[in-house]
Amino acid sequence: MKKSILGVLIGLVLVLSACAEKTPGPDVIEDYVCKDTPLSTGCYVPSDDLNFISPIADEYTINETFETDRVNQMPRNWLLYRNEEYKADGVKATIIEKNGNRYVELFSDGLKAPMYPQSAPNPTFIFSTKFNLDLDRKGVAYATVMLPSDKPTDSIAFGVSTGAVNTIQAVIGSDLKVQIKVGGPFFYYSGTADGGDTYATSVTILKDTWYTFKFEWDASTNVVSAHIKQGDAFVSLYSGAFHVSNRVNALLSGAILVPNVFRVTMPRNYTYSYAYIDDVIVNRKGV
């Protein structure tokens, strides 16, 4: 009997000792060979489904003849500025077709404009498309425009810019005279005397007549120019250096910022204005 009791007690002691919580020892930290060089060979394995974007943008040009755009629709490769203050049809850019040719009818009610500082004379109508010749840093742009006689018209400006900063543009005034503007933000002024310069020409256009303009730029030679086609040849309207506003920080020592936008504007004039544009083309220079 005593032996049985003793055996039971020994068994209980063993069970209780087995169930007793053991104090954990310190964690063993193992060194990891890739902890200091996670992108080294054997440490980083790139995923096959990752598409990395090159920091250098691909260059591309534009060839907008509008022949493949749908009639009564806005051109698919262009942006037309409007905000909540604009009326639903306050500005329009619509593909129309006449005599087998498709082109864009531009309309502005001239009532609203973007809000920018210094109370600058901002346009109501801002119509633009992009291209990229940042590596070549030179190019040539064409545009064909016409003002109608059977609809109200006012001034229209068109040309190339770097973002919002005009590089060179032609301005057809309400008097139908052509001027060339170089440099300067095209719908606001910074207040640092970089609003651009405007040059008169001897050209006065006629309504109901298509006119083709050419704009060229070359950062390597520091030259921008504008031309108008008369007959089979292009006649020079302006040639000169890039404006200071086309340089980094608007400093003469700053690098030249080459254009990457073709844009068309019409002013806030509180009246209806119409114009037409066709064959907007940007090519590499010398090609």
Measured between alpha carbons, how far is 56 from 144 in angstroms, rounded to an integer?
Answer: 32
> Domain segments of the chain: what residues?
62-283
Mean pLDDT of each 10-residue bin along the chain, 287 residues long = 57 56 58 76 70 72 97 97 91 97 97 68 89 96 98 97 93 97 74 78 98 98 98 97 91 93 94 97 89
Partners of 266 in the beta sheet? Answer: 125
Long-range (24+ apart) CB contacts under 8 A made by 196-200 are: 196/166, 196/243, 196/245, 197/243, 198/171, 199/238
pLDDT of residue 16: 55
- Specify whether the CB–CB gap between 276 and 145 falls below 8 A: yes
pLDDT of residue 119: 47
CATH architecture of 62-283: Sandwich (2.60)
Give the pTM: 0.79
pLDDT of residue 270: 93
Question: Which residue, chain included where needed, has tokens 């974007």?
Answer: 53
Measured between alpha carbons, how far is 85 from 82 in angstroms, rounded to an integer?
Answer: 8
pLDDT of residue 39: 77
Residue 44 neighbours by CB under 8 Å, 6+ apart: 34, 38
pLDDT of residue 115: 72
pLDDT of residue 17: 57
pLDDT of residue 84: 86
Measured between alpha carbons, how far is 69 from 105 in angstroms, rounded to an integer?
Answer: 13
Cα dihedral 77→78→83→87 (10° resolution) = -100
Tokens linked to 105:
């009818």
- Specify whether the CB–CB gap between 74 and 94 falls below 8 A: yes
Tokens linked to 93:
């850019």
- Specify whether the CB–CB gap between 258 and 138 falls below 8 A: yes
pLDDT of residue 31: 62
End-to-end CA distance of the chain: give it in Å, rounded: 114
pLDDT of residue 166: 93
**What is the biggest distance separating any 2 CA atoms in the chain, rounded to whole angstroms?**
132
Measured between alpha carbons, how far is 209 from 153 in angstroms, rounded to an integer?
Answer: 14
Measured between alpha carbons, how far is 282 from 32 in angstroms, rounded to an integer?
Answer: 55
